[in-house]
Structures are given as C-alpha cells and as structure tokens.
Amino acid sequence: MGGFFELLADPDVGFLRNALLLGLIGSIPLGVVGSFVVVRRISYLAAAVAHSALGGIGLSLFARVELGWDWLPPFAGALIFTVAAALLIGWIAVQKGQREDAAIGTVWVGGMAIGIIAIAKTSGYNDPMAYLFGDILLVRESDLWLAGGFAILIVALLALWHRQLFAVLFDPEFAAARGLRNDPVYLLLLVLTALTVVTLVSLIGVVLVVALLTLPPAIALARCQRFGLVIFAAVGINLLCISLGLWFSYVLDFPAGPSIILVAAGLYAATLFR
Amino acid sequence: MSSQPAVCFHKVCFSYAAEAVLSDVDFDILPADNVCVVGPNGGGKTTLLKLMLGLLKPDSGHIRVFGEAPEKMQGALGYVPQHMHFDPVFPVRAIDVVLMGQVGRRSFGFSTRGDRRRAEAALDQVGQLAQAQAQFAELSGGQRQAVLIARALVGSPRAILLDEPDAHIDPGRRDKLKQLLDYLPTDITRIMVSHNMDFVVSSVEKVICVHRHVHVHPTSALTAERIRNLFGSDLRLVRHDREHPTATGHHHPQPAGEPDGGEY
C-alpha cells in the first residue's frame, strides 16, 4: 500500500497521479449527470451515446496517422460523435411513434463498427481494447485541463437548468402546461451525458464509463430520498470507487478501468442484498 | 381585463387523426366562474382542457385565454392533470412537487426562500403542510391529489383547471377532496372536468356538457332528463339538492351509449 502512495507522490511518474486526478475531477459530472440519467431511466440511451464515441476516436486516429491531421486529438472525434449521437437519438426519441430502441441500437453498434474499422485501417499498432476498456497510460496531463473545463461547464449548465429539467423529467405534461419546452430540455440532458462520457473515456473506456454514470446514482437512490442528496452521494460514491479501484489495480496488478467498475458493481450488489 | 372572458372558444374543431373529437365548439367562461365540464368518456372533456392549456392546437377556430393565445397564458393557469404517470421511485418530496408549480421557462438556478415559503403556504392551503417532507409516492391517493392541487395553486394562477380530480380517490376520502374543491379561491376561474356528476361540487354555477359538441347550462337548469339525454339511459342521479325548473332549450343528440355508465 505504501508503494501506491509513493508512486502517487513521485514527481517523475505522472500516470497514476493523472489517472487519479482525472477520476476525481470526472466524479463530479458523472455523479451529477448520472443522477438525472438514472431517475429518467435512460441508462441504455447513455450507453449508446458512450459506445458511439469509439467511432469518433477511431476516425480521429485514422485522420492523424493517415492524413496527417495532427491537430485532431481523439477526444475531439469522441466529442463530435457522442454529441451527434445524443442529438440523433434524442431527436428520434421525441418524434412520436418512432422505434426509439432500434435507433439506439443502430447508433450504438454503428459507432463501434466505424471505430473498429478506422482503427484497423490505421497504420501502426493501435489496440482497440485501450479505448473500449480504458488505459491508465492514455491519460495525459492535457486531459486533466479538459476534464476540469468540461466539469465546470456541465455543473454550470445544470445549476442553471436543473429545476426545469427536474420538472420535465417528473411530469412532462404539467411542465408543458407551465410553458416549459420538454424536448430541448431533454436534449440538453443527452448532450451533457455525451460531454460527461468524453471526459472519462481515456481512463475507463467507452464500454465501462456507463457503469460509473449509472451505478453510483443507483446506489445513492437506495438510501437517499432527496434528489439533491442523491447527486452529492453519487459524486462521493464515484470518488470512492475510482480511488479504491485504482488502489486495487495497483496492488493486484489489474487493469485500472475494470478494477474501478468492479468496486462500483460490488457496492451496488451490496445495496441489493442488505 | 375584467370584461373579457377567462376562456373563449370560437368555432373550435379538433380531431385526433381522422376522428373528430370536438366540432364547432363555441362558449365563454367568465373570470371567477366556477364551471364543471361533464360528458361521457371519450366525449372530449380532457381535450377541451388541453386546448385551453395550449397543449393541443385546434384544427380550426380560435381560442383565447384572458384575451391571449393559450400558449402565451400558460403561467396564468394552474393545471391538475388526471393521470400522473409518475415513477414510484422518483426521489421527490411533496414540497418538491409543489415547488415545480413555480418553475417556468425563465426559471434558472436554484429555488429561492420565497419560492419555498409560497410552496409551504400552498401545502397549508390544501391541509398537507405536515406532509411537506414526505415522499410523494408514499402519500395516499387523496393526499397526492391535494399536493397536485397545491402545485397548481402555488403560482397564483388566474384560473385553475382540474381534470377528474376524484378519479383515483377511494370513496371514503371523496368528501375531504370535495370540501377542498369547495374552498378553492373564489376570485379565480375554476374549471373542473368530472365524469361523476355526484362529485360536481355544490358551488358550481355552470355546467359545460361535452359530447363532440358543447352546450353550456347554468346548474339550475340541469335536469335528470338532460343528463340522461347526454349520457344514455343507465344512470342514477344522486344529487338532488337543487330546484329543477322546467327544461327548455336544446336537446342533446343521443350518444351511442356509455358502457360503464357511472354514477350520477
């Protein structure tokens, strides 16, 4: 255990510190946005948005290597893909009578297929596993600034809109009768989900990020009766899962992303059986 | 402001897909009127309310609410919907539900102390202040309905629209709700949809009968025969605490039949 903290403090070795800091910063948007996602029961939709990020990551890797677009970082591709996926799914969801589930499935697998093909066609060795399940070595210091910026943006937008969003999620018809525009408020939540996913994708990958978006609020909901408390508890549980998960991964020499997710899944299981 | 009607329908037609629900609807509701909307299931009662609220748009004709288009007046109407499909594990307390009655398109940031004070006052008005911190899902049907009425009242509306407020209340609790509705503020327009004539509160001044077409009666002119004409024959008229002057005026078209009849 001593080794873990020494490594964290070692000025020459940044990867573990960066990973932990990214996790701590990311816990905030994960907990806040995740709480809205879970009470609205759209985890599957958030999962589709997250998985579609692989398409953007793959295409930007391809563009960097094959087209020389060095200015295009993978996160930018992920950002464009996830926001587009969120808007597309949201738009289909608000069109009455559309098969929302089919659209979600298409965006989900379509994004992944594009990503895997683009990665396969990119010269050099690129392991899709790193993007699917996260790679602690992928976390760079610039990611921290980006995550911090996104966290502030997400929290600020929700601080402004949370009452409208909460009213729309609870009773859309009453909200509409109060003059609230349901569809844009719902799309805002989906776009914020996309931004949250992009923030954390390098640490835990497109497959696992949904678990941190949904499990901590689900754990919090089992104990807290006030929505404000659910949000704070979800942020706290995320902090705990990420810190403990990274420690386990160091001690047991496990991959970091899956270790974090197993802690979250274990805590969730504990709430079910208590 | 006082001279113009609270709600004005002029030659309004509305249909869902190909099915005409309302045709050629013409009526006025005056400010501070206490009105009950009755009619058979599927006759267009809820549609009428949703048109007033701007949730639906008429195919033709025009609707004015306090002299304006309905969508411009949404802040001025308090709405108590009939079916609230709420999620039983949605983490929301009674006070949170009432607070939502003050949220509008320009509500940004957090609720103020004033918002909370008004929400508590509205809960007090419906006798549910003690339940303020209780989970909404854990309240009884009657308590929930009272909280939803508080949510409609909290924004100081100029009119309150209630859609079958007695629909999900067990009979033993109806009297309490009825009392509550009788004591709604009398300076605002009160419009209540009911399927249950027994529930039509004693202070109602006008009854709007909806069955594709709309006819307005003062309550005093509402006879058993008229109601029978409107709803079909298998009815029991329970309330008889008014005089029934001789029936004059129009006759309603005989409806095709009302399978579950209801108690009247």
**Where does B31-140 have alpha helices with state H?**
45-52, 94-99, 113-125
Question: Is residue B239 predicted with pLDDT exceeding 70?
Answer: no
Mutate to test the interface with A, among B73, B92, B111, B131 (most CBs of A within 10 A): B92
**What pLDDT digit, counting tens, does each position of B202-227 carry?**
668 888 888 888 888 877 666 656 66
Confidence of residue B256 (pLDDT cuts 50, 70, 90): very low
Helices B113-125, B141-153: axis angle to 10 degrees equals 130
Q: Could you tell me how many CB contacts below 8 A there are between chain A and chain B?
A: 84
When CB atoms are compared, the residue of A174, A177, A181 closest to B105 is A181
When CB atoms are compared, the residue of B86, B104, B108 closest to A180 is B104
* Tokens 């994708």 sit on residue: A201
- CA-to-CA distance for B108 and A157, rounded, in angstroms? 10
What pLDDT score does B125 carry? 92
**Residue segments in chain A with a per-residue pLDDT below the cut of 50:** none
Q: Which residues of A180-216 are buried (b: 16+ CB within 10 A; e: fewer)?
A: bebeebbbbbbbbbbbbbbbbbbbbbbbbbbbbbbbb
What pLDDT score does B227 carry? 61
Q: Report residue A95: phi and psi, to 5°.
A: -80, 115
CB contact under 8 A, B103 and A178: yes
**What pLDDT digit, counting tens, does each position of A158-208 carry?**
999 999 999 999 999 999 999 998 889 889 999 999 999 998 888 888 888
**What pLDDT digit, counting tens, does each position of B156-196 carry?**
999 999 998 887 777 777 777 888 888 888 899 999 998 77
Query: Residue B66: which region, alpha, beta or left (left: phi > 0; alpha: psi -120 to 50)?
Result: left
Query: Model pTM?
Result: 0.86
Measured between CA atoms, the residue of chain A closest to residue B155 is A178
What pLDDT score does B70 carry? 93
When CB atoms are compared, the residue of B54, B77, B103 closest to A167 is B103
Q: Are A261 and A203 in contact (CB under 8 A)?
A: no
What pLDDT score does B29 carry? 93
What pLDDT score does A128 carry? 86
From chain A, the residues in CB contact with B134 under 8 A are none
Mutate to test the interface with A, among B80, B84, B85, B96 (most CBs of A within 10 A): B96
State how far residue A247 is from chain B, nearest Cα, in angstroms.
33
Question: Is residue B94 predicted with pLDDT exceeding 70?
Answer: yes
Supply the mean pLDDT for chain B. Answer: 81
What pLDDT score does B136 carry? 93
State the pairing for strand pair B60-65/B7-16.
antiparallel
Mutate to test the interface with B, among A158, A174, A224 (most CBs of B within 10 A): A174
* Average pLDDT value for residue range B109-133: 94
